[in-house]
Amino acid sequence: MKKLTLGLIGLGTVGRGVVKLIRARKLFIQKKFGVDLCLKTICDLNYDPAFVKSLGKVNVTKDFNDILNDKEIDVVIELIGGHHPALEIIKGALAKGKHIVTANKAVISNYGQELFALAHSAGRSIYFETAVLAGVPVIKTLTEGIAGNYYHGLYGIVNGTCNYILTEMGDNKISFEEAVKLAQAKGYAEADPTLDVNGMDSAHKLAVLVQLAMGKFINVKKDIFTEGITHISREDLLYAEEMGLTIKLLAIAKKKSGEIEVRVHPTLISRSHPLASVKGVYNAVWLQADPLGDILLVGQGAGEMAAASGVFSDLINLGIDNRNADQVWIGDNPVELENLQIKSIDKIETEFYLRLMVTDRPGVLSKITGILGKNGISIASVKQKAVSKEAAVPLVMLTHTAKESSMQKALLQIKALKEVSAKPVVIRMEHL
C-alpha cells in the first residue's frame, strides 16, 4: 500500500469536490489501486467552518506555508488559480521535495517550462489533468494513451461558458447579452465573464495542449492570436445554420513545414462535423494524429465534480507511478521537442464569412466586391437578407480562401465607405 499524505490549498468549488471524493472513495482506491490518500491539512482564507468541521481530523490553516513546511505532506494540491501566489506555492512545494497536483491552466501555460525544469531537478512530478477539459483525460491521452503519435492539428472547444452561450444563442434565438445572463444564473459564467468571452481562458488551455502535443512552449500573449465571441450575434448563428454551418469558439493549432499556427477565435464549421454536436457546457478536442488518425475527446468542461474528477485521477496516478520508486511524469518535459516557428496570423489563409450593414442602394454591392477583388479576395456566395429604403440592411458573404492580411486590408477600405453603417463582422472558416 502506497500512502500519500496530502495538503490542499484552495477550498473553493473544485476543492470541496476533491475532498468529497477522497472521503467517499478512500476504501475503493485502496482496494483497486493500492494507494491510500490521506488528507492532512487544508488551507483557505475563507473556508466554511461547518464543512471543515464535518471532515473530522483534518488540520485547517490560512497560511499555505504550514503545508509547504510540513515534512509529512507528500503532495500539494494547488486549487487557488491565477498566477500569484499559485506560482510561488508550486515553486516552494517543489523546493521542499513535494509533488504537485494542480488545475491551474494560467500557471502551466505561462510558466510550465520553468516549473517542469524545477520538478526534474527535484525528482518530483507535476500533474495537471484538470487544467484543460476538467476531468476529460486529454492530458493523459496525449502523453501516455497515444504517446508516440505525431499531431498535425488540434481543434478544441475548451471553454464551457462560451460554448453554452453560443448554444443558447443558436438554439433558442436569444441575444448574446441574454445568453450571458442565463449562463450566470445557472453558475456557468462568472459575475465578470471577460476572461471567458474574450478568448483568454481558451488561449491558456491551447498553450498547454500545444506544449504536450507539439513540443512547443507558447507565449500566450505574444504567440496566440486571440479573439472572443462578443461580436457574434444570433443573426450570425442563423445565417450560418442556413448555410449548413455552425459557429464555435475554437482553439486551433496546426503544424506544417516547420511552422505552427496557434489561434483562438469564433470559427465556422460544417454542421455535419462531430464538433458541431458538442453543445452546452460540454468541451471537446479533435486531434489529427499520425498514425492513429482523427480522435475526438468529449466531456463536461466545468463543474464541481467534473473538475474534481480530474484532480482525483491525478492523485491516484501519482500514487501508482510512485509505489516502487520516484519517477518524473512523462508530461513534465522542460525541453522543446521541435524547432517550430510561430506562423503570424497575417500569413494564415482561410475562407471568411462577412456580415456588413449597408445602405440598400444600387452600386453598393459592386463597390464592396470591387474592394475585395482588388485585394485578391473572390466571393463564393452573397446574400442580402432584407430590403429597406430607410435603414441599413445586412449583407452576408462567404469568400474563397484568402490571406488574413488581404482581408484586413480590404476591411479598412470597406469600413471607410459611407454606405457601411457598422463595424463588419468577420468569422473565419475551417474545413475539418
As annotated, the active-site residues are 205
CA torsion, ordered 317, 319, 324, 327, to nearest 10 deg: 60
Q: What distance in Å separates the CA atoms of residue 189 and residue 177, rounded to the nearest whole number?
A: 12
